[in-house]
Amino acid sequence: MSKLKVISEKSVTNNSRIAGLLAQLEKINTESVESDTARHVTSKILHLVQSQEKTRREMTAKGSAAVDVLLSTLENVKDLQTTLNILSILVELVSAGGGRRASFLVAKGGSQILLQLLVNACKESPPHEELMVQVHSVLAKIGPKDKKFGVKARINGALNITLNLVKQNLQNHRLVLPCLQLLRVYSANSVNSVTLGKNGVVELMFKIVGPFSKKNSGLMKVALDTLAALLKSKTNARRAVDRGYVQVLLTIYVDWHRHDNRHRNMLIRKGILQSLKSVTNIKLGRKAFINANGMKILYNTSQECLAVRTLDPLVNTSSLIMRKCFPKNRLPLPTIKSSFHFQLPVMPVSGPVAQLYSLPPEVDDVVDESDDNDDIDLEPENEIENEDDLDQSFKNDDIETDINKLKPQQVPGRTIDELKMYEHLFPELVDDFQDYDLISKEPKPFAFDGKVRGPIVVPTAGEEAAGNVGSVRKGAVLKEKVSPKTEEGQRKTAAVGVARGDVKADRASPQQSDDRSRAVPSASAFHSDIVKALDRITLQSIPTQTAPGLTVEMKKDCGLPLTVLTCTKACPHMAACGNALFEGRTVQLGNLCCTGVEIEDDEDTESNSSVEQASVEVPDAPTLHDPDLYIELVKNTKSVPEYSEVAYPDYFGHIQPPFKEPILERPYGVQRTKIAQDIERLIHQSDIIDRVVYDLDNPKNEYDLILNSDINTNHYHQWFYFEVSGMRLGVAYRFNIINCEKSNSQFNYGMQPLMYSVQEALNARPWWIRVGTDICYYKNHFSRSSVAAGGQKGKSYYTITFTVNFPHKDDVCYFAYHYPYTYSTLQMHLQKLESAHNPQQIYFRKDVLCETLSGNSCPLVTITAMPESNYYEHICQFRNRPYVFLSARVHPGETNASWVMKGTLEYLMSNNPTAQSLRESYIFKIVPMLNPDGVINGNHRCSLSGEDLNRQWQSPNPDLHPTIYHAKGLLQYLGAVKRLPLVYCDYHGHSRKKNVFMYGCSIRETVWHTSDSAAPCDVMEDTGYRTLPKILSHIAPAFCMSSCSFVVEKSKESTARVVVWREIGVQRSYTMESTLCGCDQGKYKGLQIGTRELEEMGAKFCIGLLRLKRLTSSLEYNLPSSLLDFENDLIGSGCKVTSPTTYVMDEDEPRFLEEVDYSAESNDELDIELAENADYEPSAQEEVLSDSELSRTFLP
């Protein structure tokens, strides 16, 4: 007998009627009064509970002992009617109160008492029907709220009692219904599910479920839910397959689909699908589903449901099942290794590159020998005894918890003598400037000597002027050719098509002007310049194919070898590069548009003429771009594939278009539609060109593309840059890149790929624009081998798909993942900046940090202000300026980092007074491209060593990672001469988050995010690392403070940010991440990011450094504490930090943060979704500080 609690006066008032009845019932329990009295009292309580919600609330209120009294009575009473009354009371309590009251009953020990009552009641033969109905009803309600319910039921022997009741009373629907509900609860425990399966529960369920019937639909629904829960067990699923129940389920589903014309039984239809979904979690189930023609059945029924929006749950579940059962295909490649190989000077003894080249030649690295795809078999067959652990809050094991490891420890790493090799890269520390003319203080006019002249314009992304441009007709093209590209070459190409309906669209492009930018030349002038330029270029004679068709030339960063292919057959393997790898060569441009410059209509022509006459200017004219210089630089660039063709966008240059490009709204059901089309391919395979094609007599309009792996790797597929030509107007072309690896992408959240039209460039619109409709990123049916997935089996690739209507016929168009920025572009920009600067005002020096593996130079830039004179005090002031060390583009595919760096460099070199003040405050050491080889050869993430260079900072190898080795050496040298940088920042791009934000390093914040016993207040730390990000959050529209993180993770211990902080001792060591998509806050909310905004961010970063200089002066300690306090900002927000754990996703970015409704996502293990930090609300003091400084520091 349980120990009774005395009813307190606080919980039940004296004048309460229910209180008196409960007091009587308690007295009956203690004094063993006659059963008639107990029956009478419980009957009155039941009446009150049934008629008054107030009574139900009072009995389940916090502190009430009413439930204790009822359970105690139930446990001790022998009278049947009293027991039924109490069970009815409990049913009323839990039925009306939802989950809270059920949990309340569980907390009072109700589960154990009711299970024991069930066991005792079944000892009678036959058991009382009403008693069985009531006790099963209560248990079915409270069971889901008891984490140990499955174990309790099994220990008490209740499983077989309920099962036998169903077997013996199949026609008694009133009794069977609550029994089935309780069986469903039992089945939530995997061990119970197996136990019940062995006793025939699966066969029993199929005696209840059946074809369409208007009778007993409620019973059918519960039976299907129970069956779906039981079939999650692999043992039960195999039993169902062995007995042919997959075919039965499909037959039943078709019958209900045909007869349920008014859709009143959607829940039953969904229940059948849920059972199919469970049984297809095993390989045998998927095979049985395919053999039973399940793909065609579900495809046809789901297509018939599309017209009714309320049937979306059926369509979505059908899509999930079909995707899971879609037969796994291999990529049509002989190997997933890169098409190109670079012989390393030293072969690593361990790591992914060593593993890659240690594989025996006979090993198939495209698919595993037995790809069972059993990663979906998630159900364990043993009991998880500690089920409480399942509800514990997420803990990130990647966060560093060892405070000793977190504490920065300055270690020289190399001796002073070894570091002396870097002295020549710091002449500013020893130069006395005696040979310099420092008398003139008047600034030299800032103009370029090249044919394109004009001032360096600091971008201000928000300033625009209205204008008009005629609408552009959109159409399509296709032509066939194969030729290598210079510096950003191409991959082997092929095309496959599935016909789609024709689509036509118009796009109006409002033009805008800015009085600080140069005018865009007219179409005729632009064309004339290009023709003259082409006359001066030595062209190779490369044969091209003239048969009609589509050209799809894939490039990585300005061109990497790519493969475009059909759906199923292998394409030829690209041959290894020639012996004369880096010898001198000529360079060519691809053919111009077949039709030349289009003559636009009268309105457009008149508009262009008026633009020219009025000298209307477009912001961000390419003042640093010189096509002739670019070609010369390309000729001296060394690439593994020996690229010999320059892409037109790189030759013409890019201007930010004079119109905003909003984040694309995701169409409803677009992913589901794309998946249905993939399934349609499987069902109607005759529509597919099952081969690699180069010449198409009747070109189709859908193409599958395969990205080449980074050189010396077998993965990293994300960056793309390819060319198409020969398109037709009025045709919607669909492109599918089918071997992506990330589990999610901003393509699902409004990002569009970029397109550059040569015809548009010749018509004075030389810019990349966001294009594409029906954009989707989803898991496909191409199997990914364990070799490429870090040992994980059963993984699949993902598809990026987008549809384009081209604006011109027979155009040449380029598509890119993001705005390309090549190595030669950087070299061109640096030369232009160097030739144009005022040497009396700006100290600019361009050195070579080192040579890369392939022999390209890695530039190092030094920028500061010249000393006022060569007097001693001015030279001392010059030498004592603090250093700021910046780097970018360690990951080649993050081209946005280069555009941000371009904005930083241009601002530092401008004549703006604020820029001059900044130069007078700091010495800037900048490595604008840490991975030139990766950029040149079109890699996404790695260098030619096949490794992520941002994971080599702890122990860089001078032979394999020269740029990292020497960049770290520069920082170590500064530490050795006691000149540590005030700030180190590495510019990156982020593919799965919006806005611009920073990662920094903090011991306190790292400790706070762990369950370590040390509290943040126990760790003494200067919180100055937060100052710069907070400044940027005030002055940079794209910057988002709430996305910043200052946690140090174990997986990032060898990144630049952490190593420079921990080993070099730079407190303000950051990674600045720029979105590839757009912004969801601030001034640019709802807009996709462009080069104007990226360059603006680079300039704003400079202004932030100037403000940081002021804040780190002697007045720093008088600032309001709220400026540097992080506990209110970050800890109060309750944010969490995590990092990716998969082999390929070893990146600088956390998991994807945005929520999306995957209407047809596959059965992947769900990524842990993190709540974003609460928005940062600046204090009043900070607002005053921001406003007072803004007028002085805002971009000119």
Q: Which residues contact 442 (CB under 8 A, 6 or more apart)?
A: none
Nearest to 497 by CA among 720, 718, 723, 691: 691
- On the 0-12 / 13-18 / 19+ scale of CB atoms within 10 A, 626 is buried
**Is 1073 one of the catalytic residues?**
yes
Token reading at 60: 């389940």
Query: In whole angstroms, what is the distance from residue 931 CA to residue 860 CA?
Result: 13
User: Around 687, how many Cα atoms within 13 Å sit in the side-chain half-sphere?
Assistant: 15
Handedness of CA 1081, 1083, 1084, 1086 (dihedral sign): positive
Helix (DSSP H) and strand (DSSP E) numbers for the chain: 39, 22
Beta bridge partners of 755: 769, 815
Query: In whole angstroms, what is the distance from residue 644 CA to residue 777 CA?
Result: 33
Backbone region of residue 809 per phi and psi (left: phi > 0; alpha: psi in -120 to 50; beta: other values): beta
Give the β-pairing of 733-740 and 795-804: antiparallel
Are the CB atoms for 861 and 930 separated by under 8 Å? Answer: no
The DSSP annotation for 228-294 comes to HHHTTSHHHHHHHHHTTHHHHHHHHHHHHHHH-TT-TTHHHHHHHHHHHHHHTTSHHHHHHHHHTTH
Nearest to 760 by CA among 1079, 368, 471, 495: 471
CA distances for 655 relative to 459, 519, 658, 929, 1087, angstroms: 12, 11, 9, 22, 18
Are the CB atoms for 265 and 273 separated by under 8 Å? Answer: no
Are the CB atoms for 909 and 951 separated by under 8 Å? Answer: no
Query: In whole angstroms, what is the distance from residue 601 CA to residue 608 CA?
Result: 11
Are the CB atoms for 110 and 146 separated by under 8 Å? Answer: no
Token reading at 557: 């960063």
- For residue 838, the Cα-to-chain-centroid distance in whole angstroms is 44
Query: In whole angstroms, what is the distance from residue 765 CA to residue 615 CA?
Result: 15
Q: Per this entry, what is the length of the chain?
A: 1196
Token reading at 483: 């030729």
Spot the catalytic one: 642, 906, 1073, 1182: 1073
Token reading at 167: 């077997």
Secondary element (H or E) of residue 780: strand 773-784
Active site amino acids: 1073
